Amino acid sequence: MDFVLETKNINKYFDQPVKFHVLKDISLGIRKGEFASIMGKSGSGKSTLLYILSTMDTDYTGELFLNNELITGQKHGKLSQIRNKNIGFVFQFHYLLSEFSVLENVMLPAKKLGEKSLAEIEHDAMEKLRMLDILKLAHQRASRISGGEKQRVAIARALINNPAILMGDEPTGNLDSHNSENVFSIFKRLKEEEDLSLLIVTHDEDFAKRTDRIIQMEDGRILD
Ligand SMILES: Nc1ncnc2c1ncn2[C@@H]1O[C@H](COP(=O)(O)OP(=O)(O)OP(=O)(O)O)[C@@H](O)[C@H]1O
Ligand SMILES: [Mg+2]
């Protein structure tokens, strides 16, 4: 099977305050164009798993593959390059740089990747803003737009390097129902029109039910 993202038998322990088996034998695969959600009680290990899948946490056993390439064991510098290029990430809080314009915020990950000229990056960033229907905000300071708009800017920023997969840790957790619905529609459109793969942690059952698949976590395991 061809997976964008795949894990084999991932286990993780926390040592503090006591030794704790937080992820137990996690094996999963996300296909290209699949919109999957992760649900599970608070403390079941969703965020811990997402940190590993997004290559930010390397302290685990088992294997992680991105586009069939083994990621586990790669060096720090190579990892951040792989992450920058292949993984878009949206959090519950947007983490935009408030003093910067919307456009500058969206351009940032592409500047960091350093594969395109500034003119190209600006062009691509405007294209993402247009796609998310916030083009008119391009030159606003990030501190001066609404919460729902900030989350759309954060999605545009996550997409600027055309990642293989977009991950989110409760990206609608801080939004009212109208703005949550808006974000859901954006994700759905990205799946349908761009064949993007998405893996979204959510506590919102209505949101999860409308994704292609719900991955249910309980006590560090995936239930089948
Ligand atoms: N740095 C850490 N050190 C020790 N234990 C941790 C650490 N981070 C998380 N934990 C514990 O690991 C478990 C899983 O935490 P995690 O944040 O992954 O849960 P979650 O499913 O994302 O919960 P929520 O829905 O509340 O966000 C919890 O019991 C948590 O207390
Ligand atoms: Mg969490």
CA distances from 116 to 52, 94, 100, 119, 154 (A): 28, 25, 21, 8, 20
Give the domain ranges of the chain: 3-222
Query: What is the residue with the minimal CA distance to atom 7 of ligand 1?
Result: 14
Model confidence, pTM: 0.95
Distance 46 CA to ligand 1 centre (A): 8
Q: Distance between CA atoms of 215 and 222, rounded to whole angstroms?
A: 7
Distance 169 CA to ligand 2 centre (A): 7
Distance 183 CA to ligand 2 centre (A): 19
The ligand with the least distance to the CA atom of 48 is 1
Q: Per-residue confidence of the chain (224 residues) as pLDDT tens digits?
A: 689 999 999 999 999 889 999 999 999 999 999 999 999 999 999 999 999 999 999 999 999 999 999 999 999 999 999 999 999 999 888 789 999 999 999 999 999 999 999 999 999 999 999 999 999 999 999 999 999 999 999 999 999 999 999 999 999 998 999 999 999 999 999 999 999 999 999 999 999 999 999 999 999 999 98
Residue whose C-alpha is closest to residue 205's, from 72, 38, 35 = 38
Q: Contact at 8 Å (CB) between 102 and 145?
A: yes
Is 16 touching ligand 1 by the criterion CB < 6 Å? Answer: yes
The ligand with the least distance to the CA atom of 39 is 1
Q: What is the pLDDT of residues 126-166, one digit of tens each?
A: 999 999 999 999 999 999 999 999 999 999 999 999 999 99
Residue whose C-alpha is closest to residue 125's, from 91, 93, 100, 92 = 100
Instruction: Assign domain 3-222 to a CATH class.
Output: alpha beta
Q: What is the pLDDT of residues 74-83, one digit of tens each?
A: 999 999 999 9
Q: Contact at 8 Å (CB) between 215 and 38?
A: yes
Is 79 touching ligand 1 by the criterion CB < 6 Å? Answer: no
